[in-house]
């Protein structure tokens, strides 16, 4: 099998070197093209890339000159579309050790309209889950217990076990990736871009397979989230930069899809329908506008003073590609109208707003009704989910 591994990196050279060595050691008979993007690093990453391109004919690199980072949301696509040359590629993190036999498992299961994820073995830095294996074999390359991992893989590998789910590292046909337009730059530089593209793959008819005889050991979060070379205090705390971006990306995911990220216990996406919802608010405040705006196609605030509306737009517009001026106080017709009195708006009301897509999917009703403190008028139940598949 010929496969291109897609690896953006920013100030994580130590992990890139460790990862590279594991790939070359354990790639088997496969022809592996390693495609690295240096995202304006200051730790010598580009010098290493130049050195590797001289030594390794199957090593390719792209550089973001900076000074600002682009993030992997952008660089995944640059590498996939402009650098990789093989039909099959794999989104692969710089802090992953490729275990023996992993690429054999991908070759067995991969086909067009199918994405294959390897199973992650991780130190206990995050909660456990049925889609991964917790095994404390080190949190830095210099303390990595390689033989313990290899012994575990040899003992526990099962070619008979294949589950549904998708997460990094995931292998795909570049044709399927390009068909939906790749990652959405709405989420740049990072966070929620993976959940967005997974939703779109599923809606476009792509099937997901997770193999349990193909593994990586994953240090986790060394790209930026907990990279001590890039603003994180330590590997146990998320960096302030990542936390702020995650909040922005979460609000943008809600704007686009109308709900939070949803998946089953094995990480297969759950995608409620997208509806055209307008929220009308009386006794509105700046904070209520900020809370509700992402959850609808349009919002009418009626009695909120114009200065407060413009203050919100000025503050929030830098965080999204959506035009906020085109959704606030236009007083246009929409399929569904939710009326709220902000003086009575509480946590239970907010929970119903968050679940509205699922409520509409389940009940399939039209007309006017009251849901706790929400007054809802459903003129029709047109869905717009299919419009979100392709960029």
How would you write the pLDDT of the chain (391 residues) with one tens digit per residue?
Answer: 999 999 999 999 999 999 999 999 999 999 999 999 999 999 999 999 999 999 999 999 999 999 999 999 999 999 999 999 999 999 999 999 999 999 999 999 999 999 999 999 999 988 999 999 999 999 999 999 999 999 999 999 999 999 999 999 999 999 999 999 999 999 999 999 999 999 999 999 999 999 999 999 999 877 666 666 666 667 667 778 878 899 999 999 999 999 999 999 999 999 999 999 999 999 999 999 999 999 999 999 989 999 999 999 999 999 999 999 999 999 999 999 999 999 999 999 999 999 999 999 998 889 999 998 999 999 999 999 999 999 9
Q: How far apart are the first and last CA of the chain?
A: 30
- For CA atoms 134, 140, 143, 144, give the dihedral sign: positive
**Per-residue confidence (pLDDT) for residue 235, from 0 to 100:** 66
- Helices 13-26 and 45-55 pack at an angle, to 10 degrees, of 20
pTM tops 0.75: yes
Other CB atoms within 10 A of residue 244 CB = 12
Length of the chain counted residue by residue = 391
Instruction: Give every CB contact of residue 113 below 8 A, 6+ residues apart in sequence.
Output: 173, 176, 205, 206, 207
Nearest to 216 by CA among 89, 88, 102: 102
Instruction: Give every CB contact of residue 16 below 8 A, 6+ residues apart in sequence.
Output: 7, 9, 36, 45, 48, 94
Nearest to 248 by CA among 198, 171, 336, 185: 185
**Distance in angstroms (rounded) separating the CA atoms of residues 155 and 390:** 42
The structure tokens 């996406």 sit at 269
**Distance in angstroms (rounded) separating the CA atoms of residues 72 and 220:** 15
Residue pair 269/263 in contact by the 8 Å Cβ criterion? yes
Q: Which helix (H) or strand (E) is 272 found in, with range?
A: none
Chain-centroid distance of CA 143 in Å reads: 29
**Distance in angstroms (rounded) separating the CA atoms of residues 158 and 213:** 5
Domains, in order of start, for the chain: 2-257 (3.90.550.10), 277-388 (no CATH)
Instruction: Give every CB contact of residue 95 below 8 A, 6+ residues apart in sequence.
Output: 12, 15, 18, 19, 218, 219, 220, 221, 222, 223
H helices, E strands: number in the chain: 12, 15
């Amino acid at each position: 099998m010929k496969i291109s591994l897609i690896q953006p990196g920013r100030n994580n050279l130590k992990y890139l070197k460790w990862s590279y060595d594991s790939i070359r050691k354990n790639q088997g008979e496969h022809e592996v093209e390693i495609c690295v993007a240096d995202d304006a690093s200051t730790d010598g990453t580009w010098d290493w890339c130049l050195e590797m391109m001289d030594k390794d004919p199957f090593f390719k690199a792209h550089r973001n000159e900076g000074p600002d980072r682009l993030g992997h949301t952008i660089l995944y696509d640059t590498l996939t579309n402009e650098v990789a040359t093989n039909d099959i590629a794999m989104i692969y993190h710089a802090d992953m050790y490729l275990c023996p036999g992993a690429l054999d498992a991908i070759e067995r299961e991969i086909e067009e309209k199918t994405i294959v994820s390897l199973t992650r073995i991780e130190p206990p830095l995050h909660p456990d889950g049925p889609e991964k294996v917790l095994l404390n074999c080190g949190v830095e390359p210099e303390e990595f217990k390689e033989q313990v991992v290899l012994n575990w893989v040899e003992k526990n590998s099962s070619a008979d076990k294949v589950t549904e789910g998708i997460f990094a590292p995931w292998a795909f046909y570049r044709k399927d990736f390009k068909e939906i337009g790749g990652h959405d730059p709405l989420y740049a530089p990072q966070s929620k871009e993976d959940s967005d593209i997974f939703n779109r793959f599923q809606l476009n008819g792509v099937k997901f397979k997770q193999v349990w005889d193909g593994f990586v050991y994953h240090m986790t979060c060394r790209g930026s989230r907990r990279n001590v070379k890039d603003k994180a205090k330590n590997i146990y705390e998320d960096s302030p930069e990542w936390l702020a971006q995650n909040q922005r990306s979460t609000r943008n995911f809600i704007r686009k899809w109308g709900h939070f990220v949803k998946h089953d216990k094995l990480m297969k996406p759950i995608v409620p329908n997208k509806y055209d919802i307008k929220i009308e608010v009386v006794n509105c405040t700046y904070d209520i506008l900020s809370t509700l705006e992402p959850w609808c196609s349009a919002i009418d605030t009626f009695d909120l003073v114009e200065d407060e509306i413009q203050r919100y737009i000025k503050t929030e517009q830098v965080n999204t590609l959506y035009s906020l001026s085109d959704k606030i106080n236009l007083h246009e017709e929409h399929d569904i109208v939710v009326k709220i009195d902000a003086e009575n708006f509480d946590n239970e009301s907010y929970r119903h707003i968050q679940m509205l897509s699922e409520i509409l999917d389940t009940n399939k009703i039209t007309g006017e009704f009251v849901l706790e403190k929400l007054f809802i008028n459903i003129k029709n139940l047109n869905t717009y989910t299919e419009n979100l598949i392709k960029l």
